[in-house]
Amino acid sequence: MPASQPRSRARDRNNVLNRAEFLSLNQPLKGNQENRSSGRKQSGQAGAAGAQNTNPKERRQSQQLPEEDCMQLNPSFKGIAFNSLLAIDICMSKRLGVCANRASSWGGARSMINLLGLTGHGIPWIAGTLICLVKSSTLAGQEVLMNLLLALLLDIMIVAGLQKLAKRKGPYDINPGLLDYLTMDTYAFPAGHASRVAMLSKFFLNHLVLAIPLRILLVLWAFCVGFSRVMIGRHHITDVLSGFVFGYLQFRLVELIWMSSNTCQMLISIW
């Protein structure tokens, strides 16, 4: 035993790690763990203090962010179907916009297509109805013309309100014309020309006695006017189809609130 103790002391003296400059390497864990634990406590306390200082709205937003991310990464079937149909609608509308500008494939026919669209504009129809109403001398004719004027005014107001709510832009960046600004037809959804021609064609088919060829031409005219709005790049396909639907609903509304002959005569006398 006495001989082994001097040997162990000599071995410890010869060990390089027992020198003063290397003593900190022998016990690194305890100090590092204490520093790390204290750092975690301080960061936890700082995080808790920061969480207490944050507003409830910010806390709610931070809690909602993961859910929103998950919704974007994992959309529902309805969302996928809606986005797919929307993409198809935009793609097909751009392909059919063959008269959107002079450089388009049918750019030379743009003036003719614009003239066709003018036949479905609200201002010429309102002006023509007022002229016919002034020149009309029969009670039946005045009744039909007064209700037609009511239908045209309702069409402008309803379409303008829906467009202000939707605020959908057309497939091409085309500025509306002066007549479009007068009728507040500045957005794409729904198509004002399509709703107007659908309402007018249904109105004439119900209240005018027309031959079968004229009835067919009236329906073809409404379809061509609606399709012309897609060709010049002002509306999408769904805008025109929605315009046809709204035009039919407006006709049904006018039929429900149809003004009688006495009411029309009273309004004409006041005017």
Pick the catalytic residue from 121, 207, 235, 236: 235
Kind and range of the H or E element at 53? Answer: helix 28-53
| CB contact at 8 A, 239 and 162 | no
Which letter, b or e, does each residue of 100-116 get, where b requires 16 or more Cβ atoms within 10 Å of its Cβ?
A: beeebeeeeebeebeeb
Count the Cβ atoms, other than its own, within 10 Å of residue 229. 27
Count the Cβ atoms, other than its own, within 10 Å of residue 70. 10
What letter would DSSP give residue 167? Answer: -
Query: Backbone dihedral region of 135: left (phi > 0), alpha (psi from -120 to 50 degrees) or beta?
Result: alpha
Distance CA 192, CA 247 (A): 9
Pick the catalytic residue from 121, 193, 207, 236: 193
Distance CA 116, CA 232 (A): 11
Alpha-carbon 168 to chain mean position: 5
| CB contact at 8 A, 117 and 225 | yes
Is 121 considered catalytic here?
A: no
Q: Which amino acids are annotated catalytic? A: 193, 235
